[in-house]
Chain A
Amino acid sequence: DTAVSQTPKYLVTQMGNDKSIKCEQNLGHDTMYWYKQDSKKFLKIMFSYNNKELIINETVPNRFSPKSPDKAHLNLHINSLELGDSAVYFCASSQDLRTVNEKLFFGSGTQLSVL
């Protein structure tokens, strides 16, 4: 069983559209994240949720809205897509955001291409 799974794997869409990426973890973790990896492979945290509560919001445009219906799911909805949103988006989870030595488990990524 895949520990952290995200769908879709690829997403190609036009500028101005609205799209969603879904993420689910079956590890029983309390904390989930969204990371963005740009074309130069730089990886930056976007959001973190702990037990369905938003903890980290790293100055992401409000066109990006995460939603956590329960602690096993963290979805990412993006409104009015722009060319600069093209990237690979990774979902991740960890047991507890407050534990310093926690390791993250990553999904395999969603490659978003905005045309």
Chain B
Amino acid sequence: AQSVAQPEDQVNVAEGNPLTVKCTYSVSGNPYLFWYVQYPNRGLQFLLKYITGDNLVKGSYGFEAEFNKSQTSFHLKKPSALVSDSALYFCAVRGMFSGGYNKLIFGAGTRLAVHP
């Protein structure tokens, strides 16, 4: 069965410093991986995805994620954090449902706190 794990409940980083939010996955077959962000009192917003191709994927708001097959990881990164990046971040993997339909399976989320 497909699953993702986000080992950190919270990540704290100073503004201007690089940030990393960790995600590991478990899939049978090719992984289709996603990052979403949830700001307070809002729905989730798509950040980026990995389907095939380059292991470094660039997304919205200056975020990028590195796909590492040997470590089964898909960590989210940003070179220089902003206070406005403070939010809840979800890693997700595309799982297969019966009938050939897909569904997104989300990790437990990691709260990113960027302090001035």
A residues within 8 Å of B by Cβ?
4, 40-45, 48, 50, 55-56, 90, 92, 97-109
B109 with A42: CB separation less than 8 A: yes
Q: Which residues of B contact A56 (CB under 8 A)?
A: 97, 101, 103
Query: How close is B43's CB to chain A, nearest CB, in angstroms?
Result: 3
How many positions in chain B have a CB within 8 Å of any CB in the partner chain? 26
A90 with B102: CB separation less than 8 A: no
B99 with A104: CB separation less than 8 A: no
A41 with B108: CB separation less than 8 A: yes
A103 with B46: CB separation less than 8 A: yes
B43 with A41: CB separation less than 8 A: no
Query: How close is A55's CB to chain B, nearest CB, in angstroms?
Result: 5
What are the 6 tightest A-B residue pairs by CB atom distance, in nearest-first order? A106-B43, A103-B46, A43-B106, A106-B44, A101-B51, A97-B101
What are 9 A-B residue pairs whose CB atoms fall within 8 Å in the complex?
A41-B108, A42-B106, A42-B108, A45-B105, A97-B102, A98-B102, A99-B102, A101-B94, A109-B43
B window 82-116: CB within 8 A of A: 88, 90, 94, 97, 99-106, 108-109
B residues within 8 Å of A by Cβ?
32, 34, 36, 38, 41-46, 49, 51, 88, 90, 94, 97, 99-106, 108-109
**A55 and B108 in contact, given A43-B90, A106-B44 (Cβ under 8 angstroms):** no
A104 with B97: CB separation less than 8 A: no
Residue of B nearest to A55 (CB): B101
Q: Which residues of A contact B32 (CB under 8 A)?
A: 100-101
A40 with B103: CB separation less than 8 A: no
Query: How close is B108's CB to chain A, nearest CB, in angstroms?
Result: 5
